[in-house]
Structure 1
Amino acid sequence: MNRRLLGSAALALVAVTSLGLPLSAAAADEAPDALIKRLSTDVLNTVKADKSIQGGDITKVIALVDKTVMPNVNFRRMTAAAVGPGWRQATPEQQKRLQEEFKILLVRTYAGALAQVNEQTIQVKPLRADPADKDVLVRTEIVGRGDPIQLDYRLEKTPGDGAGWKIYNLNVLGVWLVETYKGQFAQEINAKGVDGLIASLEARNKSNAGTKG
């Protein structure tokens, strides 16, 4: 993955991990495209103002994820989709471990690229959806250096106390995040089972931690 694509994916990841910021009652009814526009702008401003995040401070980025990620991101669905049929074979404890290791993998993969996005802006394209739709695609472009970069979000409308729009997949230049890992994870499960995939993710994360600091 080239640096420009990696930087764009980093922006997408930080946008996702920042969606847990407290929302007012009015914001809970916010349209999905308006939500993405507001939060993307907030994220860009945060990255521009924080030199340690720009520098790829992994401890600070992980702390940001741990503090803010869950309320408006269906990370369980994202992980389950990436794992594929093996998810249904996993015990609750294995599913918890898979989510933990997958989150660390994503954060460590993209943390060092955040410095690449601090001069860019987000343009949200017109939403092509019916007001009654419960699953939508919000298309955006990252504009700043070189050609615009496609960055799309899949969101679902959730009912109940936590009602609101939640992201469950990301697309950078035609490459969907979930699908990027699905084939890799399927091979690991077929060869070594769910525990084998967990062990592989844990080993990869430890290796990444060693190479990045």
Structure 2
Amino acid sequence: MSLARRRIIFVLLLVCLPFTAVAEELAGPQQVIQRISDELQVVLMENQARMQEDPAFVYQLANDVLLPHVDFHRVSSLVLGKYWRRATAEQKKAFSREFQRLLVRTYATAFREFQGWEISYAPLRMSEGDSDVSVHTQVKRAGAAPVEVVYRMHIRDGDWKAYDVKIEGISLVTNYRSSFAKEVRRKGMQGLIQRITELNDSRVKQVADKGAS
């Protein structure tokens, strides 16, 4: 499975879970995932045509779903690792902003590929007072082998938020960390930020050109 494909599957699986789980039978972090998924599935199913025709709508949907439920500060620090600690406050702010834009647009791509599946939750290993957990699930799709997916979540500002997902043992954070580290070694932190900014801006331009055509 290619890295790009894993990233698309990551954002799909982060939010697009099925209606089949009974929320009251799930623990707190599982309930958060389930609640988001139920709401999102309704939106996706009712707006398939618009999603194909209106990129701005897709980006807004991705933005609305992603921002409240992912701890971007934690993700950014984990993705950059030692380079985060070496970065200036301004660089951290700029990187987090551009990385957030990058993930939102990855969400948008994933939404266009939306398809139904079923998710089963493994018993959650969680004790009273725990604030950091791994939510183990299995994704079942028609005509495909089950996929093991683990969501890393912790409490921030009183809510459960995701900060990593592992698909078949491959971590989203680890994948990005590897590619970003190479860019930092080649061009420095400012070069990485500039590269992501240019990529984001080019995608914005593509959307604008498509809307004008």
TM over 0.5: yes
The aligned counterpart of 2:174 is: 179
The residue number in structure 2 matching 1:201 is 196
Amino acid at match of 2:160: W
Which residue does 1:8 correspond to in 2? Answer: 9
- Displacement of 1:211 in angstroms is 6.1
Q: Which stretch shifts more, 89-98 or 45-54?
A: 45-54
Amino acid aligned to 1:178: V
**One-letter amino acid matched to 2:10:** A
Aligned to 1:75: 72
The 5-angstrom pairing of residues 137-176 of structure 1 reads 137-145=134-142, 146-158=144-156, 162-176=157-171
**Cα distance in structure 1, aligned partners of 2:168 and 2:59:** 25
Q: Does the 8 A contact of 1:5 with 1:172 survive in 2?
A: yes
Q: 1:110 to 1:34 in 2, by over 3 A?
A: closer
| Equivalent position SS for 2:128 | coil
Between the aligned partners of 1:193 and 1:4, the Cα distance in structure 2 is 27
Distance 1:164 1:132 in 2: 13
Q: What do residues 163-195 of structure 1 show as CA deviations (whole Å, max 9, x unaligned)?
A: 121211112222211111101111221222211
Question: How many pairs were matched up?
Answer: 197
Measure how far apart 1:95 and its partner are.
Answer: 1.5
Deviation digits for residues 51-83 of structure 1 (CA, Å, limit 9, x no counterpart)? 157538542233234445444321111011111
Q: How is 1:112-131 mapped onto 2 (pairs within 5 angstroms)?
A: 112-131=109-128
Contact 2:134–2:151 (Cα < 8 Å) also in 1: yes
Pair 1:112–1:65, CA change in 2 (3 A):
closer
CA–CA separation in structure 1 for the residues paired with 2:163 and 2:145: 26
Q: State whether residues 118 and 141 of structure 2, in contact with CA within 8 Å, keep that contact through their aligned partners in structure 1.
A: yes
Displacement after TM superposition at 1:141 (Å) = 2.5
Partner SS for 1:55: helix
Q: Which runs of 5+ in 1 are unaligned?
A: 16-26
Alignment RMSD, CA only?
2.9
> Cα gap change, 1:143/1:125 in structure 2, threshold over 3 Å: closer, same or farther?
same
Q: What's the counterpart of residue 21 of structure 2?
A: none
Q: Is residue 58–residue 108 contact of structure 1 (8 Å, CA) maintained in 2?
A: no
d(CA) in 2 for partners of 1:136, 1:56: 39
Which blocks of at least 5 consecutive residues in structure 2 are unaligned? 17-23
- Superposition pairs of residues 24-173 of structure 1, within 5 angstroms: 31-52=28-49, 54-55=51-52, 57-145=54-142, 146-158=144-156, 162-173=157-168
- What is the Cα deviation at residue 101 of structure 1? 1.4
Quote the offset at 1:134 in angstroms.
1.9
The verdict on how the C-alpha distance between 1:195 and 1:5 changes in structure 2, with shifts beyond 3 A counting, is closer
Larger deviation, residues 42-51 vs 162-171: 42-51
TM-score with structure 2 setting the length:
0.77
Deviations for 1:80-113, whole angstroms, at most 9, x for unmatched residues? 1111111122222222221121122223334223
